Structure 1
């Protein structure tokens, strides 16, 4: 016997024993409802009164104020909190009370998935305004009937509204909403007479013929912008800067950005003086690509630009096609790197870029001339390798990894609705309805025969009597088809969770071989976030340091120069005066040169900075001579047995900190940090926490 059935039996037993049900009320209202006075306070009073009237114990209230009824419960905080409590053992309540069915959801699937999931857990739902609940089969049938009526009424209202708008557009009138930029609505408020006109100062409805016009008209802004765009040959940032300098602002009252003014001036509807109602890019579409609520309709508008001005604008702003970004490259941390400026780093490099990088989104100006952050780019491969190494360190324990994946799958399963039982119930009802129709058909045939009807008249009379039953049967079949679709989608989501579980069975043995796509999947699963704790060092763009490249190519550490080793070098190369004095005035001693080379290899310091530190301007010349003559190779061979350290990375990383969590509730407080730019190593990850928030017993460390 299933757990949900046992829970339902237990709840029913409490009812039979006259034990009061424990009820919580769920209060959701949309913004529209609140303006009509049906806010949280209004509905809360009525749900509370209903709970008291029924003799239930009121044990809690959960609210979603201003949340749309079209959103699934997982995206509403109050509804999600109820469901999180509902899966607990023992359950803290037996029934959820709402004021009306639309409080649960304004769409069929949104409504039923929440109600059914609660029902599977043995928790009932009560609706106040209809005084119905699903504690009985009759109550559940009434709830289904009332909910379906509400959904149908909403669909009818939407169809009538959209039909009226469509008719208005087809007759050439303005269908409503905001006017297109550069135009205003004439005869506003006069039903059937509204249309768009150019937003110029004409001394009419908006302006005064006697006083200076203070209205910021949109058509003159567009004309000015077009002239600047032609003059600046499509430099849109300069266009925006000029508009802002002249005090022009957007319709919302903020300064212009280059993207905003470019979108306005290159809009094909503006250039062709038209308004495409229900265009493919804006309308709600069917699977075949046609608009749901009516055919696309084009309204002709008066021209703001002449055809010659449009041609001039097109010619001036035509740009050669840019090289596209790298195709197929997965940036595993895109949007998950938090910049010191508070924005997020995103991945994206030009196709001809040799080094892939992350770029701070704060680089984009809020408006032209508004300033932007100065965060340097971050080397993509370096930060991704650091992050994945940290994840591998944590998840290298196979048992722990499987536990996390199992918990993920288990929680996903708890959130799934038992569609199979609903489909089985509908199949039974459809079969019963078919039997009822067969029986009623025989009865109706006898009735029309007694009435003396024959032929077509008899058939018509029988069809009329059976029509309500056929409609009910068709409704049941539609419901079944709809639930089959929901079940299919839920099965795909469940399969994805199981795929992750299967992946975890072998992942601990091959985490370091994962592709970028697999890494990205686990980073999402763990909800990884990396904070950049300091301003990143500038990303190197020029030629790579030749000294560092030598150590990387030869897989050598950078040796430490000591007096004993230097004596060997002096003897090998025959440096006069022990190699500690310059050979000529203003020069550098050979030992100073070698120490400078080794420092550059260890730290990646730039040549100019190294010259300034040593009071020289020719260290790069020394390197070229040492390298060309073979001296560098001989000296390095002499120092082969010396202790040393790692070579500086080609692209040093800033100090980083990582956090993550597994969505069912296992939180990972990740303390991995790059302590030294050249080391690129992370500390051990901090303790994992269970869903209760207490440290994992296996770790024993306190929270960081």
Structure 2
């Protein structure tokens, strides 16, 4: 925002009848307009001059530079600032001035929802280009006509443009844009003559037999890549490395990556020598009937890149299975929400040879073949998901707090709503009046043509011609009503979703811990949860799991604390000589030390080598095997079943993390886990989030 509006609030407080209108100007230009030289400065001078000419008080300027006019106002910063001030009491301004209607919006609904919302708040809109405003009923009608003309003209231009492109496609020509990789455009600039051909040396001016060209032709690159892919059995990283080593980079000059060359080479359109124009599976705009909006899909044949035999050979080559992939139907609620120390984010994944689920840093995927990757370790999925969701539940355990969040969300939706009912009633009245006018004019016109001596079909044509403007106006009003009725239904759906959120907040209290992964995804999105990993996670455990830790986890038991009294009971039950404090043989380990090591391993998850180094003993795992096989471990745990205990170490350790989130429009949550060490680095064991707060 340029000029401040704050002082205008004081002006409004002193306002009396007959005061000058206070105006702010809204300056929006798209990137395309900027390229043509029509920037913020250009439009700002004209809105300022218009405000001065009308003798309004200029109290503020708001800008959205390089923003598309197809975006609704709540997604544009400058327009949102205007609306946030417009709801204040007393109002800080009376009128918003724009240079032209498209500054407000390039779509019918985008334009009217903003204008109507301001109008509902008692704020007018003025357009410099046509010198119109909606401060009067006549001005409002002119603004509607001008805006509708602009929308119709834009629709005509787009329809005409899309129709021309459709015709090109149906004739098998090039429809515009960049050529597909491996092809180039011939007959550039010749209307209706542009075609795609294979990008190979054609012996032209730049490519002669006596003076070979040095250009890297894309068709040659793809053909080489196919041969290499067959030879290395579709090891795409090897294919990319080979191309990069030979200096055959992508069109943008970057080295190839495995997924990149695989996507190019295994593309079905390339293998079938075609382009599917308006492909419903590839981003074509689809209408309510499921068909492309601007025309039918058209398959355009291209010169084949490979022979049928080469395509068959490539398809038949048995490729390497990808090492990692997400398990089908498994929801990873934290994908994209876990920010890694290297600056990337984690996504849900699982090694094909393991059943464990985890998150892996996207930095593990090389930017191109041979590029360095990050050193972030993978994170055990169940552990981090339980940690995040458990603390979300703890922070939202206060029923009043949870309902307050829902109330604020409902309020934010309500602030964006427009009074559609009043406008529908007004249109209904206008439609009825226009219908009455047509009935009246039909009788009058019929008498006129009769006096002129016209009869039969000639009389009908004359009447229809004279009434055409009246019917066109009626059709326009009915079209506007249909649009507004649709917008109203969509607004009611949004309002209902907000109310459903409130109901969900009421019912969620006390049972959020039982939410499914799908429900967690919804709530994490609602709270805009982001979890930053503050240090490289501990490497995930490989091989056999800790048998002692598994014993406690399977029985859902805490690890008991050994006391002197309980140890004496164990000595008596097991018959340990010398109180169990002396090794039975030289170089061995006393039974008391063995038990203490087992309990420590269960609490910390430390490895056998680490524990042996700490105790200076060897063969601790042998002691465990004997204790468990002989039943001694179960007997000792039976003696200790009534002891106080501490939580068992998790299967996989988690790093120190920081979680933040918010519910728009401004309720913010921030929390940080305990020290990474906690108890041997188990961040999830660091206790409640003492640092968590809401503002």
TM-score by length of 1: 0.90
CA distance in 1, matches of 2:277, 2:429: 46
User: Offset at 1:403?
Assistant: 2.0
For the 8 Å contact 1:14–1:21, the answer to whether it is kept is no
2:692 is aligned to: 686
Structure-to-structure mapping, 1:493-504, within 5 angstroms:
493-504=494-505
Given that 2:12 and 2:90 are in contact with CA atoms closer than 8 Å, whether structure 1 keeps it comes out as no
Q: Verify: 1:36 aligned to 2:36, yes or no.
A: yes
Separation in 2, partners of 1:121, 1:41:
29
Distance in 2 of aligned mates of 1:607 and 1:103: 70
- Structure 1 residues 357-436: aligned runs within 5 Å: 357-436=358-437
CA distance in 2, matches of 1:262, 1:187: 30
Instruction: Report deviation, 1:371.
Output: 2.4
| 1:28/1:67 contact within 8 Å kept | yes
Which digits, 9 at most, give the CA deviation of each residue in 1:125-180, with x for residues without a partner? Answer: 11111111111111111111111111111111112222222222333332221111
Contact 2:365 2:373 in 1 (8 A): yes
**Is residue 485 from structure 1 mapped to residue 491 from structure 2 by the alignment?**
no
> Does the aligned pair in 2 maintain the 1:14–1:20 contact within 8 Å?
no
Where do 1:492-571 residues align within 5 Å? 492-562=493-563, 565-571=566-572
Name which of structure 1's ranges 229-238 and 518-527 shifts more when overlaid on structure 2: 518-527
Please state how far the C-alpha of 1:569 moved relative to its aligned partner: 3.7
Q: Please tell me whether the aligned partners of residues 83 and 118 of structure 1 are also in contact (alpha carbons under 8 angstroms).
A: yes
Q: Verify: 1:225 aligned to 2:228, yes or no.
A: no
Correspondences of 1:119-198 after superposition (within 5 Å): 119-198=119-198
Higher deviation after alignment, 312-321 or 140-149: 312-321
Distance across 1 between alignment mates of 2:494 and 2:675: 37
C-alpha change, 1:169 and 1:630, in structure 2 (3 Å) is: closer
What is the distance in 2 between the residues matched to 1:253 and 1:260? 13
C-alpha deviation, 1:26, in angstroms: 1.2
Q: Distance in 2 between matches of 1:429 and 1:348?
A: 60
1:288 maps to what in 2? 289
Deviation of 1:481 after TM superposition, in Å, equals 1.1
The question of whether the paired residues in 2 share the 8 Å contact of 1:47 and 1:128 is answered with: yes
CA contact (8 A) 2:325 2:350 kept: no
Farther-moved stretch of structure 1 (621-630 vs 67-76):
67-76
| Partner residue in 1 for 2:637 | 636
Shift in Å, 1:548: 1.4
Q: How far apart, in 2, do the equivalents of 1:113 and 1:205 lie?
A: 58
Partners of 2:269 and 2:275 within 8 A in 1: yes
Q: Deviations over 1:572-617 (max 9, x none)?
A: 4344455444434543333332222111101011233333444455
User: In structure 2, the residue corresponding to 1:401 is in which secondary structure?
Assistant: helix
Cα deviation for residue 441 of structure 1 reads 0.2
Indicate how the Cα distance of structure 1 residues 578 and 263 shifts in structure 2: closer, same or farther if over 3 A, else same: same
Relative to 1, partners in 2 of residues 1:15 and 1:173: Cα closer, same or farther, differing over 3 Å? farther
The alpha-carbon deviation at position 483 of structure 1 amounts to: 1.5
Indicate the SS of the match to 2:220. helix
Asked if the contact 1:532/1:657 (under 8 Å) is kept, the reply is yes
Contact 2:222 2:265 in 1 (8 A): yes
Tell me by how many angstroms 1:192 deviates: 3.0
Deviation at 1:122, TM superposition (A): 1.4
Contact 2:324 2:349 in 1 (8 A): no
Q: In structure 2, the residue corresponding to 1:669 is in which secondary structure?
A: strand
CA contact (8 A) 1:390 1:672 kept: no
SS in 2 for 1:358: strand
Per-residue Cα deviation, 1:159-217 (whole angstroms, up to 9, x for no partner): 22222222223333322211111011112223333222211123425546655533222
In the alignment, the residues of structure 2 paired with residue 575 and residue 509 of structure 1 have an alpha-carbon distance, to the nearest angstrom, of: 50
Q: Which is further off, 556-565 or 433-442?
A: 556-565
Q: Secondary structure at the match of 1:386?
A: helix
Cα 1:687–1:320 shift into 2, 3 Å: closer
Q: Is the 8 A contact 1:657 1:673 kept in 2?
A: no
1: CA distance, partners of 2:506 / 2:473: 49
Q: Distance in 1 between matches of 2:65 and 2:622?
A: 71
* 1:311-356 deviation per Cα after TM superposition (whole angstroms, max 9, x unaligned): 1111115678999854554433332222222222223447996433
Whole-Å Cα distance in 2 between the matches of residues 458 and 221 of structure 1? 72
Q: C-alpha distance in 1, partners of 2:14/2:462?
A: 51
Residue 463 of structure 2 corresponds to residue 462 of structure 1: yes
Change (3 A) 1:397 1:301: closer
Contact 1:656 1:674 in 2 (8 A): no
1:18 corresponds in structure 2 to: 18
What is the CA-CA distance between 1:449 and the residue it aligns to?
Answer: 0.9
TM-score for the superposition, normalised by structure 2 = 0.91
RMSD: 2.7
Identify the residue that residue 300 of structure 1 maps to in structure 2: 301
Does the 8 A contact of 2:85 with 2:92 survive in 1? yes
Structure 2 CA distance for partners of 1:75 and 1:204, relative to 1, 3 Å? farther
Matched residue, 1:271: 271
Match of 1:4 in 2: none
Q: 1:606 to 1:195 in 2, by over 3 A?
A: same
Bigger drift between 679-688 and 23-32 goes to 679-688
Query: SS at 1:79's partner residue?
Result: helix
The gaps in structure 2 that reach 5 residues or longer are: 1-10
Residues 660 and 670, structure 2, Cα contact 8 Å, conserved in 1? yes
Residues 193 and 504 of structure 1, relative CA distance in 2, 3 Å threshold: closer
Q: Does structure 1 residue 261 correspond to structure 2 residue 267?
A: no
In the aligned structure 1, how far is the partner of 2:368 from the partner of 2:639?
Answer: 60
Provide Cα deviations, 1:444-476, integer angstroms capped at 9, x if missing partner: 011011111111111111111111111111111
- Provide the residue aligned with 1:603 in structure 2: 604
| Cα separation, 2, equivalents of 1:509 and 1:643 | 28
* Residue 110 (structure 1) aligned with residue 116 (structure 2): no
The CA deviation at 1:656 is 1.8
Work out the CA distance in 2 between the residues paired with 1:542 and 1:320.
22
User: Which runs of no fewer than 5 residues in structure 1 stay unpaired?
Assistant: 1-10, 690-704
Q: CA deviation at 1:568?
A: 4.5
- 1:592-671 paired onto structure 2 within 5 Å: 592-640=593-641, 642-671=643-672
Task: Write the distance in 1 (CA, Å) between the matches of 2:330 and 2:539.
Answer: 23
Q: Is the 8 A contact 1:357 1:379 kept in 2?
A: yes
**For residue 98 of structure 1, what is the aligned residue in structure 2?**
98
Say if 1:236 and 1:258, in contact at 8 Å, map to a contact too. yes
CA distance in 1, matches of 2:476, 2:12: 30
Structure 1 residue 680, shift from structure 2 partner: 5.0
Q: Are the counterparts in 1 of residues 657 and 672 from structure 2 also a CA contact under 8 Å?
A: no
CA 1:574–1:665: 2 relative to 1, 3 Å: same
- Could you tell me how far apart the structure 1 residues matched to 2:379 and 2:152 are? 54
Q: 3-state SS of the aligned residue for 1:26? A: strand
